[in-house]
Amino acid sequence: MGHGIAQVCAQTGGFEVTMRDVEQRFVDNGMRMINDSLQRFVKKGTMTEEELGAVRARIHPTLDMNEAVQNADLIIEAITENPPLKKSVLAEADKHAPQHAVIATNTSSISITEIGAATTRAEKVCGMHFFNPPQLMRLIEIVRGLRTSDETVEVIKDVSRKLGKEFVVVKKDTPGFIVNRILIPALNEAVFLVDEGVAEPEDIDKAITLGLNWPMGPLKLIDYVGADTHLFVTDVLVNESGDQKFRPSTLLKRMVRANRLGRKTGKGFYDWPKTN
């Protein structure tokens, strides 16, 4: 989701954005996806080529962490749902960022308190959970950690408004926050239905989109998010809460082991054309 967040910050927010990743191919792919997304706005007539160029000029790709954060006012982390990896990346960012900088994590399930403790500025660490795709989805969950200051929450509220987003504030650092605490059991139940042979994925998704008016079926949503990311989230919820209502299906685990992750690998519950 990092490229989508970078795009909305540069496009809607008008911010100068440095987009950092660990390999050049990831950076290049992110910039390609940003350009493809912007071109769709141009084709729809909601953006001119000149405006597209201005947005692109505000996004500065890099591989260097120091270059990425040394002049930052706000750092938004958007890597995979892996607690040790998130803490390692943000601890590194913390070392290079100016003292006033706020650190936001796009985690959908991991404890903000735990992530904040990996830095020297826990009071300036906050959850800023975007939804996929960030360019279109209107909601941001703002999540307080145990030591997150009121001032930090106000900064994230202000930035969210500038991005044209609605927001909700999660007052207690609870696993899954609001949306995923409700959504994850529903997605998992859809996978159980497939595993039990109750119905085909297409019919399960059709039942939910037409019967509950969801914009996308649960299995297609897992393919968009990535089965591996979804499994990370379910594992975090089970481990943090101890509640078996979040338990993942063995089918989901088998799909991750087989690299059937959805759209990003070309095959999940559905077949997808490769994007890179």
> To the nearest whole percent, how much of the chain has pLDDT over 90?
86
**Digit-coded pLDDT (tens) for 216-237:** 999 999 999 899 989 988 988 8
**pLDDT over 80 (residue 264):** yes
Choice among 180, 188, 230, 240 that is catalytic: 180
pLDDT of residue 72: 97
Q: How confident is the model at residue 33 (pLDDT cuts 50, 70, 90)?
A: very high
The mean pLDDT value of the chain amounts to: 94
Choice among 37, 77, 106, 108 that is catalytic: 108
| Degrees, nearest 5: CA angle 167-169-170 | 135
**pLDDT over 70 (residue 276):** no
pLDDT of residue 275: 55
**pLDDT over 70 (residue 98):** yes
71 has catalytic annotation: no
pTM comes to 0.85
**Digit-coded pLDDT (tens) for 115-164:** 999 999 999 999 999 998 898 899 999 999 999 999 999 999 999 999 99
Q: Which residues pair with 128 in a beta bridge?
A: 142
**Digit-coded pLDDT (tens) for 168-193:** 999 999 888 999 899 999 999 999 99
Count of CB atoms within 10 A of residue 41's CB?
17
Task: Please give the average per-residue pLDDT across 17-46, as a whole number.
Answer: 94
Choice among 106, 109, 111, 129 that is catalytic: 129
Distance from C-alpha of 110 to C-alpha of 237, rounded to nearest angstrom? 8
Task: Please give the average per-residue pLDDT across 236-249, as a whole number.
Answer: 87
Identify the structural domains of the chain with CATH numbers, from first to last: 2-170 (3.40.50.720), 179-257 (1.10.1040.10)
pLDDT of residue 240: 83
249 has catalytic annotation: no
pLDDT of residue 82: 85
Give the residue with greater pLDDT, 242 vs 234.
Answer: 234
Asked whether the beta carbons of 73 and 101 are under 8 A apart, the reply is yes
pLDDT of residue 59: 97
Q: What is the DSSP string of the chain?
A: -HHHHHHHHHHTS---EEEE-SSHHHHHHHHHHHHHHHHHHHHHTSS-HHHHHHHHHTEEEES-HHHHHTT-SEEEE---S-HHHHHHHHHHHHHHS-TT-EEEE--SSS-HHHHHHTSS-GGGEEEEEE-SSTTT--EEEEE--TT--HHHHHHHHHHHHHTT-EEEEE-S--TTTTHHHHHHHHHHHHHHHHHTTSS-HHHHHHHHHHHS--SS-HHHHHHHH-HHHHHHHHHHHHHHH--GGGPPPHHHHHHHHTT--BTTTTBSSSB-----
141 has catalytic annotation: yes
Choice among 3, 37, 109, 141 that is catalytic: 141
Distance from C-alpha of 140 to C-alpha of 169, rounded to nearest angstrom? 9
129 has catalytic annotation: yes
